[in-house]
Amino acid sequence: MNYWICATCGTQFSLSEMAPEHCPICEDQRQYVGHQGQEWTSIGLLQEKGYKNVVKQEEQDLIGVGISPRFAIGQRALLLRHEKGNVLWDCISLVDDETVAAIQELGGLSAIAISHPHYYSSMVTWSEKFNVPIYLHEADRQWVMRPDERIVFWSGETLELQEDITLVRLGGHFPGGTVLHWSKGAEGKGALLSGDIIYVVADRHRVSFMYSYPNLIPLPASEVGRIRDAISSYQFERIYAAWFESIVAQDGREAVIRSANRYIAALAGKL
Ligand SMILES: [Zn+2]
Ligand SMILES: [Zn+2]
């Protein structure tokens, strides 16, 4: 019996003897099945192959946690330290004793919140290790491959986890696509933890918004405009997207507005 993990998207499934035949997340238009066909692994197998988590400070009270070498989609999670309880933003497939000890040293966890199904990964194992709830937007409920009583489905447009930590549903890439606004981040200028709901592009001064990133399927202009308007009422200097390197260091809010306007112009043939 094992909690099998899809090797392409990193999603952990419910306990079963045989690995599942399909991964619905990879078979969806927004992802893809690996070139060798559907392959499976597990936390134990990842450890046997030498995968480890690396922990890296991003700024004061914000610590990145990612798998090395890179596994599946390759995202890193972010530990947001807070006096009323730390929040793990997004999640990864591997959690081991070393990682648990490192996070305990940083004050442990009080909650997990995840941007969208591509980063659900091994969220239930993580929540068991720390005995904490997982906040997911209810619009993406169908993509939970390992249901668990610790999952809290929230609804509506925003959820305040702490006075200065707010989940904001932006949709787009997934209907429940969520970002985390941290008003005290970036030395009080505000930070946005965006997963790939808002995607930091190569120049790290702009962002993009896609229905599918690996398959390059864009969003309609109306959606991009809606996302721009929904997030521009928040102040934020810095954007932390899904990978260690994907950060907009300055003028984050302006970067989102500028990028959304460029995107809409491009779709209209007016670039
Ligand atoms: Zn998959
Ligand atoms: Zn995604």
User: What are the tens digits of pLDDT across the range 112-131?
Assistant: 999 999 999 999 999 999 99
**Residue 19's pLDDT is what?**
97
Ligand nearest to the CA of 197: 2
CA atoms within a 13 Å half-sphere pointing along the CA-CB vector of 217: 11
Ligand nearest to the CA of 214: 2
CA of 198 to the centre of ligand 2 (A): 10
CA of 119 to the centre of ligand 2 (A): 7
CA of 179 to the centre of ligand 2 (A): 12
**Residue 137's pLDDT is what?**
98
Average of per-residue pLDDT across 74-87: 98
Average of per-residue pLDDT across 152-160: 98
Q: For residue 57, give the amino acid letter.
A: Q
Residues with CB under 5 A from ligand 1 (ion): 6, 8-9, 23, 25-26
Ligand nearest to the CA of 40: 1
Average of per-residue pLDDT across 138-165: 98
CA of 202 to the centre of ligand 1 (A): 25
In three-state secondary structure terms, 154 is strand
Average of per-residue pLDDT across 20-46: 97
Ligand nearest to the CA of 196: 2
**Residue 134's pLDDT is what?**
99
CA of 118 to the centre of ligand 2 (A): 5
Average of per-residue pLDDT across 133-145: 98
**Residue 211's pLDDT is what?**
98
DSSP for 14-66?
A: --BSSPPS--HHHHSTTS---TTSS-EE-HHHHHHTT-EEEEEEEETTEEEEE
Average pLDDT, the chain: 98
CA of 10 to the centre of ligand 1 (A): 6
Confidence grade of residue 91 (pLDDT, cut at 50, 70, 90):
very high
In three-state secondary structure terms, 265 is helix
**Residue 196's pLDDT is what?**
96
CA of 267 to the centre of ligand 1 (A): 30
What region does 22 belong to: left with phi over 0, alpha with psi -120 to 50, or beta?
beta
Average of per-residue pLDDT across 101-112: 98
Average of per-residue pLDDT across 19-39: 97
Q: What is the pLDDT of residues 218-245, one digit of tens each?
A: 999 999 999 999 999 999 999 999 999 9
